[in-house]
Structure formats: C-alpha cells, structure tokens
Chain A
Amino acid sequence: MPQVTYIEHDGTEHRIELEVGQSVMQGAVNNNIPGIDADCGGECACATCHVYVEGDWLPRTGTPGEQEASMLSFAATAQPNSRLSCQIRMSEELDGLVVRLPEAQH
C-alpha cells in the first residue's frame, strides 16, 4: 500500500500506509496524528486539515478546485505549497508523499 509521511511541527515523523483512494486527511485522523483537526469531517467546509506538501510532490497531488482554493486562502498560515488534505486522494503515484503539518489549525 502506498505510504505518506506526516511531519508534525515539532519534527515528529509518522509514516503511514494509506489505501488507494483514501484522503491524506483520513490517514492522519485514522492514526490520531496530532496537528490535523478535520473539524468538518472531510467536506471541504473548514480548512483545518491544512498541510504543506513537500518539494516536487505538490504538482503531483493535483490542482486545488475552486472550493478548496477559496478555503485555503484563509487557512491559518497558508503558504504556496498548502493544500487541504481532505482533497488529496492517495494513489500509487503518490507513494512516498511527504506533508508537513502546521503548528496550529485554528
């Protein structure tokens, strides 16, 4: 199964196997990784599943849709490599994906 590495703000790393099709947000929530809140449960309604996508992984995760782009511009500490992790679906092509978690989602 493809893997994602989540790096918490304090540097703690979690390497997690996700099922193809699962969102990166769900992988964090399922493993109780601190730093992703996912208040709305993956409905793209809250921007608290915000992550920074490392290096050249960003274009490989796809392009944010309009809803995500709107929400992202208001996420706490958004950067150019920010994505809402509820909108990134895991695939074999994303095996090895690395995301960093912000210090706070609120």
Chain B
Amino acid sequence: MNPGGPRIVIIGAGHAGGSAAAFLRQYGWKGPITLIGEEPIPPYQRPPLSKAWLKGEADARSLALRPAGFYAEQRIELRLGSRVAAIDRTARTALLDTGEALSYAHLILATGARPRRLDLPGSGMAGVLELRSMADADRLKAALRPGARLAVIGGGYIGLEVAASARALGAEAVVIEREPRVLSRVASPALSAFMQDYHCARGVALELGATAEALEGTAGRVTGLRLADGRLVPCDIVLIGVGAVPNDELARQAGLDCAGGVTVDLAARTSDPDIFAIGDCTIRPLPLYGRMGRLESVPNAVEQAKQAAAAICGRSPLAPEAPWFWSDQFDLRLQFAGLPFGAAETVIRGDPARPGFAIFHLDPEGIVLAVEAVNAAPEFMAGRMMIARRQRIARDRLRDQSLSMRELAA
C-alpha cells in the first residue's frame, strides 16, 4: 500500500498518458499520480512531427502537451526515461527495469504503438528512418535538405504527409505503395485518386502496386531502393511508414486479454478491473459499428483518457463519439469521421476533382456511417454529428449544395 494514499500509475507518457494524468486532476482525483515514460521528454503532440516540425515551424516547447511546470503544479510525478519491465497484478505493482516496484490502486496502460519494421535487406543502413518520436523527426528533418531524395515505403498518412513536407523543403519525394492506390486501408477510391493527382501535380512521384524488395547502399549508407520489378529508385533517405504495432507486450505478459492490442471496454477497462488501457495500444468497442477495432488517432487517445479518468473518479460515462481523424498535406486538410463498415453506397458532395468536396458513406437505410472531407469543414462537422446520431439522409439532399450542411444536420 502506498504511504501517500491510493496511487494511480500511468505507464506511457505520450498523448494518451499525459492527457489521462491531466483529466484525473480535472475530475477530482486527489491521490498521487505517477506518469512513467520511456522517452526523456514530457508528453508531447506527435501530429506536427510529420509537418510543422520538419518544416522548422515547431519546436519542443510548442509541441509539449503542457508547460514544463504543469506536472509539479498538478502533483503529477513524472518519471521520464524509465521503462516498466513487468506488471505484478497480484501485488498490484509496476516493476521498473531498475528493480523499483511502484504500487498502484489503479493502473493505466498507455504504451502506444511502434512503427512496423520491414525485414528488408539493407534496412540497417544509415539513412533508413522511421517516424514516431521527436528523435526520429529530428533525424528526418536533418536529412530533408533541398535536393535530397526521399523514398517513402508506404502510401498511408505518415508517408503522404512527409512527402508533402519534403516537397515544401525542396527535397524530392517518391512514395512506394504496395496496393493499387494510396490510403487504401482508410479512404475510398475517389479520395485516393484525388490525393494521388494532388501529390503528383506537386512533384511527388508515386509507384503504385509496387513492392520494395531491398535497400542498396555504399559504406553503410543507403543509395537506392530496389523494387520487386527490378527497377532501382535512387535515394538518400528511406522512410518506412507501413503502419504501427501496438505495444501490448506488458499486458500480454501480465495475462490481460489482448487481441492485437489490449482489449478494453467503453470505460477503457481491461480484463482486470483495476487496470485500464488507453490510446494506440488498445483494441476497443466501436459502438456505432457493433464491432471491436483499433483507432490510432489523437482524438481516440483523448477520448479513452477521459473514459479511464471518468471511471476512476466515479463520473458518469461519456457518450461515445464518432471516431474522427485529420491529416494535413500541402494546403489540404483531410478530415474523416466514422468508419465505412456496412456501407452500401457513397454519395459525393461537391466536385471530387477540386478541394472542398466530401464523400459520405451510407448504410442500406440511408444512415450516415462515415464522411471523408477535403477542405470541407462544414461537411466534416455536420457529418460527425449525423454519424453520432445515426441520422438518415436522402442522397439527393446530401448532393444538393444549395442546402447547407447546417440545414441537413438539423
């Protein structure tokens, strides 16, 4: 038993962990809170790492989730540069790799995800990078000089955002995507087509339906990427952006239910009632879609942090939100809400060849399931409301731009 009273231990000091600590104090938790992070830096925002950070428009101070003095003021004990080796559920302790045992009344796992590795020959060479942390972003930023040749493996959000940033910095960029289109896991074909055109028009080369087979180099530094079809893509930097793997090892070792992520309910509770899990390390219910899923996003990290804090502090559960996400590339803001599970039709509002359009996904009864908006904030905001309310809409009305989204969502 902790001498200071019941303590909450949070493992992981990223966006989810940092937010949970702050919400616990907001919601009235008075006991000790210990926030443990592997990185030597207090919680910070990751989204700018692929954008403003690379372009020199952000620094560690502007990315920090809270100012440096916040944690001491709020009596949140920060243990940075610390790893947890194991959780002892019987003793209710988190064991640091230094041997120190921290006892908890409640434990919150916020261990996040790590970039998926590719077993490519040559991937150990200098110049082969991934992007997750501020340290990664620093390496990438140092390499993205005018004229540098970047090859990105993976046409997902990370790859496309970095490619756009590279172009803004005067570097060259080629994106190698295994599927026939970019964003294939997360966006509809019309959106992929638009993004492909937009990137190509701004000098990003795209290799679609292409697989990287090996990296070649000289004196331990990458000079080229060999595709499966035999062609060599010359490059100075390779960014591997092929998704992230949840850090659920601690949970699995401790015997918590996991399914490619730590399994939690809508209170972010794991199979142990005293242990919560939040953010990128989880697999969670998607109440609007009747299934479990992984949501790797800042909004999800924040929502689950609130769920755990509310549960611990005895607050009533939050109404579930429609999952949402945003991505900034060039002068485009993509805003997505919902997920297209069970979609029977898509309705395009606006011109899908120009920014300002949105793609809605409806179920067989005309209920809005998801929206993809490109520089179309009203469509995104209204879409989010409609999704959360399971609102039915006639496709002709949705297509009719003389009707505002405000009217349609009323």
| Same complex origin of A and B | yes
Binding site for B on A (CB under 8 A): 29-30, 32, 34, 37, 39-41, 43, 45-47, 67, 70-71, 73-74, 106
Q: Contact between A39 and B377 (Cβ–Cβ < 8 Å)? A: no
Once the chains are docked, how many angstroms separate the CA of A47 from the CA of B25? 23
Q: Contact between A106 and B381 (Cβ–Cβ < 8 Å)? A: no
Tell me how far the C-beta of B288 lies from the nearest C-beta in chain A, rounded to whole angstroms.
Answer: 15
Q: Contact between B321 and A106 (Cβ–Cβ < 8 Å)? A: yes
Once the chains are docked, how many angstroms separate the CA of A40 from the CA of B378? 17
B47 beta carbon closer than 8 Å to chain A = yes
Q: Contact between B318 and A39 (Cβ–Cβ < 8 Å)? A: no
- With an 8 Å Cβ cutoff, the count of chain B residues facing the other chain is 31
Binding site for A on B (CB under 8 A): 22, 25-27, 45, 47, 65-67, 70, 74, 298-299, 302, 318-319, 321, 324, 326, 328, 333, 335, 377-378, 381-382, 384-385, 405-406, 409
Once the chains are docked, how many angstroms separate the CA of A14 from the CA of B26? 14
Once the chains are docked, how many angstroms separate the CA of A37 from the CA of B65? 12
Tell me how far the C-beta of B67 lies from the nearest C-beta in chain A, rounded to whole angstroms.
Answer: 5
Q: Contact between A43 and B326 (Cβ–Cβ < 8 Å)? A: yes
Residues from chain A with a CB closer than 8 A to the CB of B22 are 32
| Residue in contact with B66 in the complex, picked from A30, A47, A67, A74, CB distance below 8 Å | A30
Q: Contact between A41 and B47 (Cβ–Cβ < 8 Å)? A: yes
Q: Contact between A45 and B333 (Cβ–Cβ < 8 Å)? A: yes
For the complex of A and B, the 4 pairs showing the least CB-CB separation, nearest first, are: A74-B381, A70-B377, A34-B26, A45-B326
Residues from chain A with a CB closer than 8 A to the CB of B26 are 32, 34
Residues from chain A with a CB closer than 8 A to the CB of B324 are 46
Further 18 A-B residue pairs, CB within 8 A, beyond A45-B326, A71-B377, A74-B405: A30-B70, A32-B22, A32-B25, A32-B70, A34-B27, A39-B298, A40-B299, A43-B328, A46-B299, A47-B381, A70-B377, A70-B381, A71-B381, A73-B406, A74-B384, A106-B318, A106-B319, A106-B321
Closest to B383 in A: A74
Once the chains are docked, how many angstroms separate the CA of A39 from the CA of B325? 11
Q: Contact between B381 and A39 (Cβ–Cβ < 8 Å)? A: no
Q: Contact between B381 and A30 (Cβ–Cβ < 8 Å)? A: no
Once the chains are docked, how many angstroms separate the CA of A106 from the CA of B335? 17
Closest to B22 in A: A32
Q: Contact between B385 and A39 (Cβ–Cβ < 8 Å)? A: no
Dominant SS among interface residues on chain A: loop
Q: Contact between A73 and B326 (Cβ–Cβ < 8 Å)? A: no
Tell me how far the C-beta of A70 lies from the nearest C-beta in chain B, rounded to whole angstroms.
Answer: 4
Tell me how far the C-beta of B46 lies from the nearest C-beta in chain A, rounded to whole angstroms.
Answer: 10
A30-B67, A30-B70 given as contacts; is B47 within 8 A of A43 (CB)?
Answer: yes
Q: Contact between A67 and B321 (Cβ–Cβ < 8 Å)? A: no
Once the chains are docked, how many angstroms separate the CA of A29 from the CA of B289? 32
Residues from chain A with a CB closer than 8 A to the CB of B299 are 39-40, 46
Once the chains are docked, how many angstroms separate the CA of A83 from the CA of B253? 48
Q: Contact between B302 and A39 (Cβ–Cβ < 8 Å)? A: yes
Q: Contact between B318 and A74 (Cβ–Cβ < 8 Å)? A: no
Once the chains are docked, how many angstroms separate the CA of A32 from the CA of B28? 12
Q: Would you list 14 pairs from A and B whose C-beta atoms are within 8 A, ordered by A residue?
A: A34-B26, A39-B298, A39-B302, A41-B45, A43-B47, A43-B326, A45-B326, A46-B299, A67-B333, A70-B377, A74-B384, A74-B385, A74-B406, A106-B321
Tell me how far the C-beta of A34 lies from the nearest C-beta in chain B, rounded to whole angstroms.
Answer: 5
Once the chains are docked, how many angstroms separate the CA of A74 from the CA of B318? 19
Tell me how far the C-beta of B204 lies from the nearest C-beta in chain A, rounded to whole angstroms.
Answer: 23
Residues from chain B with a CB closer than 8 A to the CB of A73 are 378, 381, 406
Closest to A46 in B: B299
Once the chains are docked, how many angstroms separate the CA of A30 from the CA of B71? 10
Q: Contact between A37 and B302 (Cβ–Cβ < 8 Å)? A: yes
| Most-contacted residue by chain B among A37, A40, A67, A71 (CB, 10 A) | A40
Residues from chain A with a CB closer than 8 A to the CB of B70 are 30, 32
Q: Contact between B378 and A29 (Cβ–Cβ < 8 Å)? A: no
Residues from chain A with a CB closer than 8 A to the CB of B74 are 32
| Residue in contact with B298 in the complex, picked from A40, A70, A106, CB distance below 8 Å | A40
Once the chains are docked, how many angstroms separate the CA of A39 from the CA of B65? 11
Once the chains are docked, how many angstroms separate the CA of A43 from the CA of B324? 14
| Most-contacted residue by chain A among B70, B302, B319 (CB, 10 A) | B302
Residues from chain A with a CB closer than 8 A to the CB of B328 are 43
Once the chains are docked, how many angstroms separate the CA of A71 from the CA of B377? 6
| Residue in contact with B378 in the complex, picked from A37, A41, A45, A74, CB distance below 8 Å | A74
Residues from chain B with a CB closer than 8 A to the CB of A46 are 299, 324
